[in-house]
């Protein structure tokens, strides 16, 4: 584990110990995400009225309540601690969003995340790592995962942002890091297409590690140099050259098809042709 991550985990655990002591004095043992960071996490995820947000380990319910109140989303919070769930429900009533949010006493590892379009977390790396495969396999392409402070070990984030907070807090001091991942579609494997007016027969092989892809392509029997291949949710694109002319391909992965278009040439003079790739057996 990198030194700075170890330091963050140490600060987090020290803050938890303090919080546990505070519990003996009557307040709940959990660390909250500061309001400015909550706001930024939901904004980075592009949260809006069409979203269903799930906060895994929802604490006092602040992320869920902000998702409904400030971003118009519907939201669910799950937490093992029944007192925090009760507190969250009361806060939602008070904030006037009880009709758009719900809270359940549940283990995050046993929570159905398939209906979320945004998942938020502020959990220790060990638990985050246990969640990774579940989130990756259960969530639809395009779903956004936003984490406060901790990142998955082997899944590169799509975006990392530091947020300075006006009032230092127990977990992360005066600076919080936010990580964003966008769940990628399954692009890996062999694909084929035929485009009479754009290269003839296309054969592709896509190698994939989460959202990172490499594309090997041939058109009309000739290998193509493909550059800048990108996969974002179900959107895929890359650049290349066909018969000496640059092209840009952009498509959407829909199960066994990539429905897209190739732009041959550049700028206003580019010629556009549909290019629909089918999974090859």
Ligand X SMILES: C[S@@+](CC[C@H](N)C(=O)[O-])C[C@H]1O[C@@H](n2cnc3c(N)ncnc32)[C@H](O)[C@@H]1O
Residue with smaller CB distance to ligand X, 20 or 109? 109
Q: What x/- string results for residues 130 through 149 when contact with ligand X is judged by CB under 6 A?
A: ------------------x-
Residue 117 is classified by DSSP as: S
Under the criterion CB under 6 A, does residue 107 sit at the interface with ligand X?
A: yes
Window of 25-33, 178-186, 194-202, 246-254 that interacts with ligand X by CB under 6 A = 25-33
3-state secondary structure of 12: helix
Q: How far apart are CA 194 and CA 201, in angstroms?
A: 4
Which residues are bridge partners to 185 per DSSP? Answer: none
Helices (H), the chain: 3-24, 35-44, 62-71, 82-94, 125-138
Under the criterion CB under 6 A, does residue 122 sit at the interface with ligand X?
A: yes
What ranges make up the beta strands (E) of 183-256? Answer: 189-195, 200-209, 212-219, 222-224, 226-232, 235-242, 245-254
Out of 8, 44, 63, 193, name the contact with ligand X by CB under 6 A. Answer: 63
| Count of residues that interact with ligand X, criterion CB under 6 A | 22
Q: What x/- string results for residues 148 through 187 when contact with ligand X is judged by CB under 6 A?
A: x---------------------------------------
Window of 105-113, 159-167, 235-243, 249-257 that interacts with ligand X by CB under 6 A = 105-113
Residue nearest ligand X by beta-carbon distance? 57
CA count, 13 A, side-chain hemisphere, 51: 28
Interface positions, 75-94, toward ligand X (CB under 6 A): 78-81, 84
Strand order in the sheet with 235-242: 222-224, 212-219, 200-209, 189-195, 271-279, 257-264, 245-254, 235-242, 226-232
Window of 45-53, 55-63, 249-257, 264-272 that interacts with ligand X by CB under 6 A = 55-63
Residues that bind ligand X (CB under 6 A): 30-33, 55, 57-59, 62-63, 78-81, 84, 107-109, 122-123, 127, 148
């Amino acid at each position: 584990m990198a030194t700075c991550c170890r330091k963050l985990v140490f600060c987090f655990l020290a803050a938890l110990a303090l919080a546990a002591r505070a519990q003996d004095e009557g307040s709940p043992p959990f660390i909250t995400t500061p309001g400015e960071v909550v706001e930024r996490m939901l904004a980075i995820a592009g949260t809006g009225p069409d979203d269903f947000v799930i906060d895994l380990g929802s604490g006092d319910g602040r992320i869920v309540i902000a998702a409904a109140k400030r971003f118009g989303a519907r939201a669910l919070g799950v937490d093992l601690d029944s007192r925090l769930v009760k507190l969250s429900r009361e806060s939602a009533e008070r904030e006037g969003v009880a009709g758009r949010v719900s809270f359940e006493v549940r283990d995050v590892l046993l929570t159905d995340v398939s209906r979320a379009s945004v998942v938020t977390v502020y959990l220790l790396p060990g638990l985050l790592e246990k969640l990774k495969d579940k989130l990756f396999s259960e969530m639809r392409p395009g779903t956004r995962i936003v984490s406060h402070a901790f990142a998955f070990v082997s899944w590169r984030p799509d975006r990392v942002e530091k947020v300075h907070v006006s009032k230092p807090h127990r977990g992360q001091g005066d600076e919080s890091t936010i990580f964003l991942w966008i769940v990628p579609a399954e692009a890996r494997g062999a694909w084929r297409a035929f485009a009479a007016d754009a290269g003839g027969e296309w054969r592709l092989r896509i190698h994939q590690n989460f959202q990172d892809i490499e594309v090997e392509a041939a058109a009309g029997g000739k290998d193509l140099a493909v550059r800048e291949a990108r996969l974002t949710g179900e959107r895929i694109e890359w650049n290349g050259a066909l018969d000496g002319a640059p092209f840009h391909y952009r498509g959407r992965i829909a199960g066994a098809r990539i429905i897209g278009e190739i732009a041959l040439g550049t700028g206003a003079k580019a010629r556009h042709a549909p290019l629909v790739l089918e999974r090859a057996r």
